[in-house]
Chain A
Amino acid sequence: MKLSPDERWNLIDSIANQVVTYGKYRHTLKDAIGELTVKPMAGIPIAIAVLYGFWSVFGSFAGTLCTDGFFVKLFDGYWLPWLQEVFPGKGSWLYSILIDAGGMTNGEFILSNNCFEAFGVLTSGLFVAIGVVLPAIVIFYLMLTLLEDIGYMPRLAVLIDTVLHKIGLHGYAIVPTILSLGCNVPAVTATRILETRKQRFIMMTLLAIFIPCGAQLGIMEEVIPELIGYVLLYLVIGYFIFGFVLNKIVPGKSPEILIDVPPYQKPMIANVRRKLWMRVSSFFKVAVPFVLLGCIIVNVLYLVGFIQWLGDILAPVFVGWFGVPKETAGPLVAAFLRKDLAVAQLSVIEMTQYQMLSAVVLISIYFPCVATFAMMLKEGWKELIGSVAVLAVVVFLYGGIIHLIGKLIGVA
């Protein structure tokens, strides 16, 4: 036999009356902190402080301490010169692909002097993966895990709810959004916590286009620290503008939500350690092969002249519409495999600051990396096609707008 919902609730009431005793409720310090961080007046400044703190630690730990302080010295000072020395056949194809493509100056073969320029699989590939991305991912997931286990995420969701409703989502969309800053791949799966297909589509599309992953943040922090703020600004603005538009044109509902705000808890070291390990290792299982593969493919495409050819064909669009040098065609190919790699590659192309800014934003919004692409396909091919269509329009429009803004303020 089955009960109707009313019968069930009556039964539960009756049972609860018999088995539960409520003592006097004490308002504890934990409750007070819990309430303070969820009420807008105090909560929003606290949220800003928390996120700012997150960002500062991220930048100083990953960029300054690990990468600049250790890995750059290790890779540029020892690893690169040593490999350049011991690897046979300077100037050969294999040497270019694995170690250093170098450059010809006055008919003489000149070796690169750092791991960004060399662009070999064993030099730049390893440097990007281990020297730049590893510290970024570790510190990002460590802080994310702490925020999660303490129970801060639902509070952030409550605070940002009103804003996210404007783009057809609700507060809980902050979970896939923040996860996406680590890696878009698990974030795509996390969109399942949203109720309707419309919400999932909007979220998936926005995160694939506008949210840079931890690897990309790490490399940007390293190669364009003075521009990263502007890049993020353009991405945040795009996230909201195009979210607003999508909300208007995508059919479907965006329901309200009721969420549970759990009590704060002390994070358990064992859990934090285990979660960190799982996330970092699963990230690297996807990332490292693609970084190395990306290096090989891009190098081969350069050597056979494909990238120069593509650059010439796309030159009118690149130079005329987006206002970036045609050499950025190479990084755009690499960006499909790994965005971190693409940014690293951009950093050695000669261009103005504003061009660099435009190019990095383009790399971010243009096509999700192939792993994210595969994950989106798993969630539904119709959504994927829709997202890609939106993406094409966004890249073209937004790329043009950024160029226009640059012209208007006189820097492009």
Chain B
Amino acid sequence: MKILLMGHPNVGKSVFFNRLTGANVIESNYSGTTVDYTCGYMSLDGKEVEVVDVPGTFSLDPKDRAEEVAVAMLKEAKDAYVICVIDSSKLERGLYLALQIIEEGYSVIIALNMDDVAEDKNIEIDNQKLEQILGVPVVSTIAVENIGISNVISRLKDAKPVDVDDITARGMGAA
């Protein structure tokens, strides 16, 4: 089993990676800190699981070398689980990439990271509703403070491929 950490630049993937694996990759507060991937291991139910810190990408249509690395990583690991890290204060943008990855047939779990920043900006997200529409686990996290990481791990098993038609039906239906 392999877990990919994906998401936009500067949403905290590297912080997640360090917290999950106990590894040390450089974390900074700006986009483009990670330009190459790093692999690490964590144990899940007694098994060694490979975790990959993928460079940030806005979409699956790469526009620089770092993004090319990201997309290639995803395409190579067909049966990987993807933890899609989203900046909670910029949900819409993050969902675009998440949907693209779901459409490719990956098992996705969504981490709504930087919950504190969203709170600062007075943005509230209904996780349960979002989870119900998308059909994939949604967890709020503040990775730098190690909040919510263990929830992400415990909900990994609920991640499964979802048909985007069903998401459209649920998402557009109620609108």
Contact = CB atoms under 8 A, between A and B. Distances in A.
A2 B164 contact: yes
Interface string B117-134: 100111111110110011
Contacts of A271: 27, 144
B175 to A, nearest CB: 4
Contacts of A200: 65
Contacts of A153: 28-30
Nearest to B28: A148
Contacts, number: 132
A148 B29 contact: yes
Interface residues of A, number: 52
B28 A149 contact: yes
Nearest to B29: A151
A154 B66 contact: no
A17 B175 contact: yes
A268 B143 CA distance: 12
Nearest to A17: B175
Given A8-B100, A11-B171, A148-B28, A16 B65 contact: no
Nearest to B167: A11
B168 A259 contact: no
Given A3-B99, A12-B96, A274 B64 contact: no
B150 interface: no
A262 interface: yes
B9 interface: yes
Interface in B22-66: 24, 26-33, 35-36, 63-66
B99 A14 contact: no
B10 interface: yes
B147 interface: no
Contact of B9 (A2, A3, A260): A260
B168 A3 contact: yes
Nearest to A15: B171
Interface in A24-74: 24-26, 28, 30
Contacts of A164: none
B91 interface: yes
B95 interface: yes
Contacts of A194: 64
Contact of B29 (A7, A23, A149): A149
A154 B174 contact: no
Contacts of A15: 95, 130, 133-134, 171
A258 to B, nearest CB: 10
Contacts of A1: 103, 163-165
Contacts of B164: 1-3
A237 interface: no
B171 A14 contact: yes
Interface stretch (A115-123, A185-193, A216-224, A300-308): A185-193
A78 interface: no
Contact of B66 (A19, A25, A150, A193): A193
A260 B89 CA distance: 13
A148 B30 contact: yes
A21 B124 contact: yes
Nearest to A14: B175
Nearest to B126: A19
Nearest to B95: A12
Nearest to A261: B30
Contacts of B65: 192, 200
A11 B98 CA distance: 12
B35 A193 contact: yes
A7 B100 CA distance: 12
A9 B96 contact: yes
A21 B118 CA distance: 11
B158 interface: no
Interface string B62-83: 0111100100000000000000
Contacts of A10: 172
Contacts of B35: 189-190, 192-193
A20 interface: yes
A26 B121 CA distance: 7
Interface in B101-148: 103, 117, 120-127, 129-130, 133-134, 144
Contacts of B29: 148-151, 153, 262, 265
B95 A275 contact: no
A12 B175 CA distance: 11
A2 B103 contact: yes
A9 B163 CA distance: 17
A154 B166 CA distance: 39
Contacts of B165: 1
Given A15-B95, A263-B120, 5 more contacts: A3-B168, A15-B130, A15-B133, A18-B174, A260-B31
7 contacts: A11-B99, A14-B171, A15-B171, A23-B124, A148-B28, A193-B31, A193-B32
A-B pairs with lowest CB-CB distance, top 3? A23-B122, A193-B32, A151-B29
Interface of A: 1-3, 7-26, 28, 30, 145, 148-151, 153-154, 172, 175, 189-190, 192-195, 200, 259-260, 262-263, 265, 268, 271, 274-275, 278-279
Interface of B: 9-10, 24, 26-33, 35-36, 63-66, 69, 91-92, 95-96, 99-100, 103, 117, 120-127, 129-130, 133-134, 144, 163-165, 167-168, 171-172, 174-175
